[in-house]
């Protein structure tokens, strides 16, 4: 397992984490088994929302006596009301649900208090202008949560959250399909086939997504990822907008090569699926590679947009082309060169300006990136 730093929180987290989907309709023994398997595989990052009470109890029993081995993002504003899991902004319900979550999980603090599911602008205004954020701050001051996070499917809302300076971690839905769609307040559009049939929709990464990645990187806000497989659609050629089936490892690799991403919450439903996801870190590069697949499908028309896949390597003079392109894209998305990105660029041993324009890399790029021009662009941006 590889570990990454969770942005400015400084916490080290496993690049593959575990979500809570698997536990529905299972008992304490199952939770114990899955948590044991996760820890054994090196997973330390766990996303715990507020599912049925018995599941929260199972989590608590499975963590008993070893709390320090878990980095937990625990959701605020998700509650179990009238026998159903619901998002709520009713403060009485929010407080009650969070107290109950802590009681059942048998924990005294969460590493990240994740404000749950903020997709609409009006909801963002309510949450950030009112009692929800005030409550999160209160929990932080009391030491019950170490950092404030927010989960969303909407990059526009996420950008505002980053700019607020209040949020250290954003849980975002990321995968190659969602990355090409414009921001939307309605998460359901991400799942609809018609969305991907609009003209030119497959031709580029959404600029708001790029801006979000860039902002997170420069502000030290970590991204944790949900829906890496697009709800399973990307694993099925018939369902995927690209017309090909990706493997779980390819999906994870796509997410983990996006800027600012610290951990991907694998959508494991069984111990086998969990172990398959955890094994990602040990796989050879060929098995993680998503570029050959996506670059060759007729349904995919990304052109001249670097996907940071590394296929163009090795460069004749040793330039890390993928890193150079990523840094240049981050600057372009913000219309400036953030100091953090400049620093990262300066650390590169070989700079874009060293390119001898041999063109060897361009022949290997599955996405038709005009790399020589991109190196020129980076040289101008960074002055080297």
Phi, psi of 97 (to 5 degrees): -65, -40
Shortest Cβ distance from residue 213 to ligand SF4 (Å)? 15
Could you tell me if 206 and 189 are in contact, meaning their C-beta atoms sit under 8 angstroms apart?
no
C-alpha to C-alpha distance for 261 and 2, rounded to whole angstroms: 13
Q: Any idea what the Cα angle at residue 237 is, between residues 184 and 205, rounded to 5°? A: 35
Shortest Cβ distance from residue 300 to ligand SF4 (Å)? 12
Complete DSSP assignment for 138-202: HHHHTTSEEEEEEEES-HHHHHHHHHHT--SEEEEE-STTGGGSPP-S-GGGGG-GGGGGSTTGG
Which CB, 38 or 319, lies closer to ligand SF4? 319
Which CB, 175 or 325, lies closer to ligand SF4? 325
Q: Any residues with CB less than 8 A from the CB of 196 and at least 6 apart, and which?
A: 177, 181, 202, 241
Which CB, 231 or 310, lies closer to ligand SF4? 310
Which CB, 203 or 270, lies closer to ligand SF4? 203
3-class SS at 342?
A: helix
3-class SS at 240?
A: coil
Shortest Cβ distance from residue 258 to ligand SF4 (Å)? 13
Shortest Cβ distance from residue 307 to ligand SF4 (Å)? 4
C-alpha to C-alpha distance for 354 and 318, rounded to whole angstroms: 9
Shortest Cβ distance from residue 142 to ligand SF4 (Å)? 45
Phi, psi of 87 (to 5 degrees): -85, 135
Contacts to ligand SF4 by CB under 6 A? 291, 306-312, 315-317, 319, 321-322, 325, 355-361, 365, 367, 369, 371-372, 375
Which CB, 226 or 375, lies closer to ligand SF4? 375
Q: Any residues with CB less than 8 A from the CB of 271 and at least 6 apart, and which?
A: 33, 34, 37
Which CB, 231 or 353, lies closer to ligand SF4? 353
Helix (H), strand (E) at residue 250: helix 248-256
Could you tell me if 283 and 249 are in contact, meaning their C-beta atoms sit under 8 angstroms apart?
yes
Complete DSSP assignment for 49-97: ----HHHHHHHHHHHTT-GGG-EEEEEESEEEETTEEEE---HHHHHHH
Output Rg (C-alpha) for the chain, integer angstroms: 21
C-alpha to C-alpha distance for 384 and 378, rounded to whole angstroms: 8
Shortest Cβ distance from residue 280 to ligand SF4 (Å)? 19
Which CB, 87 or 351, lies closer to ligand SF4? 351
Shortest Cβ distance from residue 355 to ligand SF4 (Å)? 3
Which CB, 181 or 205, lies closer to ligand SF4? 205
Which CB, 48 or 294, lies closer to ligand SF4? 294
Shortest Cβ distance from residue 293 to ligand SF4 (Å)? 13
C-alpha to C-alpha distance for 352 and 375, rounded to whole angstroms: 5
Shortest Cβ distance from residue 239 to ligand SF4 (Å)? 25
Which CB, 336 or 358, lies closer to ligand SF4? 358
Could you tell me if 269 and 340 are in contact, meaning their C-beta atoms sit under 8 angstroms apart?
no
The number of helix segments (H) and strand segments (E) in the chain equals 15, 12
Shortest Cβ distance from residue 138 to ligand SF4 (Å)? 45
């Amino acid at each position: 397992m590889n570990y990454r730093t969770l942005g400015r929180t400084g916490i080290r987290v496993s690049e593959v984490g575990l979500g809570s989907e698997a536990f529905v309709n299972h008992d304490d023994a199952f939770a114990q088994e899955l948590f044991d398997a996760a820890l054994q595989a090196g997973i330390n990052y766990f996303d715990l929302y507020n599912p049925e009470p018995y599941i929260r109890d199972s989590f608590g029993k499975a963590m008993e006596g070893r709390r320090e081995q878990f980095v937990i993002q625990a959701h605020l504003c998700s509650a179990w009301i009238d026998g159903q899991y619901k998002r709520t902004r009713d403060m009485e319900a929010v407080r009650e649900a969070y107290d109950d979550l802590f009681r059942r999980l048998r924990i005294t603090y969460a590493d990240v208090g994740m404000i749950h599911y903020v997709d609409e602008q009006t909801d963002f205004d309510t949450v950030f202008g009112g009692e929800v954020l005030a409550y999160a701050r209160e929990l932080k001051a009391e030491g019950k949560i170490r950092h404030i996070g927010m989960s969303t499917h909407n990059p526009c809302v996420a950008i505002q959250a980053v700019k607020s300076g209040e949020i250290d971690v954003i849980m975002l839905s990321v995968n190659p399909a969602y990355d090409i769609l414009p921001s939307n307040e309605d998460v359901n559009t991400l799942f609809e086939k018609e969305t991907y049939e609009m003209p030119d929709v497959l031709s580029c990464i959404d600029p708001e997504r790029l801006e979000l990645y860039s902002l997170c990187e420069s502000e030290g806000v970590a991204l944790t990822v949900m829906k890496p497989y697009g709800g399973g659609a990307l694993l099925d050629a018939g369902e995927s907008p690209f017309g090909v089936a990706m493997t779980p490892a390819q999906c994870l690799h796509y997410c983990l090569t996006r800027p600012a991403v610290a951990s991907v919450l694998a959508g494991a439903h069984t111990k086998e699926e969990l172990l398959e996801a955890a094994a990602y870190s040990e796989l050879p590069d060929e098995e993680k590679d998503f570029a050959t697949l996506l670059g060759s499908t007729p349904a995919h028309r990304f052109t001249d947009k670097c996907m940071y896949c590394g296929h163009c390597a090795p460069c004749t003079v040793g330039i890390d082309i993928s890193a150079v392109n990523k840094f240049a894209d981050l600057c372009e998305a913000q219309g400036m060169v953030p100091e953090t990105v400049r620093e990262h660029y300066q650390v590169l041993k070989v700079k874009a300006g060293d390119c001898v324009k041999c063109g060897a890399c361009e022949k290997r790029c599955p996405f038709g990136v005009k790399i020589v021009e991109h190196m020129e662009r980076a040289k101008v941006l960074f002055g080297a």
